[in-house]
Every structure is written in C-alpha cells, then in structure tokens.
Amino acid sequence: MTGQGNQPTLLTCGRRTLSLSSARIMGILNITPDSFTDGGLLYRNGRLHADALCRTAEAMVRAGASVLDIGGESTRPGAAAVPEQEELDRVLGALDIIASRFDVIVSLDTSSPEVITAGAAAGAGMINDVRALTRDGALAAASSSALPVCIMHMRGEPGTMQQAPQYYDVVAEVSAFLQQRGAVCEAAGIAPQQLIYDPGFGFGKTPSHNFSLLRHLPDIVALGRPVLTGLSRKSMIASVLERDTSQRLPASLALAVLAVVGGASILRVHDVPETVDAVAMVTAWAEASL
C-alpha cells in the first residue's frame, strides 16, 4: 500500500479516537427517502424508522465498521435540496438513537452549519461535507466543533454536477482544489491533523475521470492528509458492467481493494461485512510483503 507515511495516524473524534494505522470502514446510513441505492430504507413517509436504523447500525458495528456516516440530504445526481430544519430533524433523531446505543464514531454527512453545530453538541465525532465547507457559516461551525473534517471535491451542485463535466487534468485539478480548501480550513482554525481529503468519485465526473482518479489515488494521498473514498455501488461500475445498484457488490469490493492499495485510509461503503473481509485480505497481503 502506498504513500501513507507522512499522514496523521490518529484522529481525535470528540470523546473517541480513530486510528488510521490501517484502513477503516465507514458504514453509510442514509436518513433519506431518495438516496440512489437505499433511499427509504431508514426514512420514509416523513419519519425515521428507528427499529430499522438500530438493526442496520448494530449489524455494521458488529461487522467491524469504525465509523457510521449519517446523512439527512441525498447528494445523488439530480437530488433536490432539503429544507434545513428537515435535515436537522432527520440527522439529530438518528444521531440520538445511535449515540445512546452503540460505542462507535458517528460522522455527519452534511453541508449545513446548523447541523454541524447541533450534531457536534449531540455527540457526533466527525464532519463529512461534500461541499468542502463552502456554505456560509460552515467553516466557522466546523472549526468551533474541533472535530475531524472530511472535505470533498465536487464540480457544481448535486442537481447539475453530471451535466457534461470537463477537466483538462482531473487528478491535478482535484488535487489543487483539495489543497486550496485545506489551506482555507487551516486559516479558519481547523487543525491540519484533523483534515481528511475525498476526491469525490461520481461528483461532477465521468466514469473516465473516476477511474483516472482511482488509478492515480497515490497522488491524492501524497498531499499529506488521510484520504476517504466513496466508491460503493457507484455508477462508474455500470459504465463497465450492466448491473443495477443491488448487483454491484463484487465490483464495489474490487474498487475497495484498489483504493486501499492506492493508500486510502477510510472507505465509505454500504456493504460493511464484505468490505471488512476484503480489506483484511489486502492488509494481510501488504504485511506479508514487508
């Protein structure tokens, strides 16, 4: 596995810590009716299904997820924005249930400063923002929380991001964006050792862009921050294989293995048990090669 030597190996996540000495698994919990693969599983007809949330969260924790990522607003291509109060209600309800039942770091998949602030006060341990803290007030909220922050590259907004995205050099442009936003975060008071970079697979990128970023992931890792990848069940798989989202597990595992070999520190996934096993094999292979 490549390029992790100069990265922080420990994140301070509120009352918990997350070691990045090996790749960690982040389980996805979409508290939405319209996410691309599991919308409506945990939230439908205007309410959170607490029993389903508990069962899903418990299964992920038991399988080996180090982090659970809660999102109250879908960011799939073409997704509509969610009113701030509605997102707040969805996320805080789920956070309260998980924080009271499970010993696990909870990440907030949000761009809202209000959700960041309220979630940090309620026990969240990480911020995961697809908009890289560009919304008004988000930088200050994230800095005040003192939590680790994952900033992601996205070209445009979810509603428009897949309308013919173009790059001269996708790896160089994504790298430059992450460095620039990282510098802005540090200037706002976010500790550099608390920053995580996400190249944003599927967010304003063609399949060719996505595969190029994955092939050159060590270049992103070389920027000196832990790298999070979100490749699970993404449409880049369908560009190669005619598989709907429910049939993309084998391909998702292949992409996860490639991400770990490329130096990824955190894998954001839907299928936790299978990915944990795949990462264990990569880790055993890497250790045997030393």
pLDDT single digits (tens) 122-178: 999 999 999 999 999 999 999 999 999 999 999 866 655 566 578 999 999 999 999
* pTM of the full structure: 0.93
pLDDT single digits (tens) 12-21: 999 999 999 9
Number of independent structural domains in the chain: 1
Given 24, 76, 233, 268, the catalytic residue: 268
For residue 3, being part of any structural domain is answered with no
pLDDT the model gives residue 164: 59
For residue 20, being part of any structural domain is answered with yes
Query: What is the per-residue burial (b if ≥16 Cβ within 10 Å, else e) of 248-271?
Result: bbebbbebbbbbbbbbbbbbbbbb
DSSP letter assigned to residue 75: -
Given 24, 181, 234, 248, the catalytic residue: 234
268 is catalytic: yes
Q: What's the CATH number where 206 sits?
A: 3.20.20.20
205 is catalytic: no
Per-residue tokens: 175: 């790298």
Residue numbers of the domain that contains 256: 10-288
Residues 6+ apart with CB under 8 A from 193: 8, 11
Per-residue tokens: 151: 């900033």
Residues 6+ apart with CB under 8 A from 266: 20, 23, 24, 25, 26, 67, 150, 196, 226, 227, 228, 229
For residue 163, being part of any structural domain is answered with yes
Task: Kindly report which listed range (65-79, 126-140, 172-186, 260-274) carries the lowest average pLDDT score.
Answer: 65-79
Given pLDDT bands bounded at 50, 70 and 90, which one contains residue 75?
confident
Per-residue tokens: 194: 């608390």
% the chain with pLDDT above 70:
89
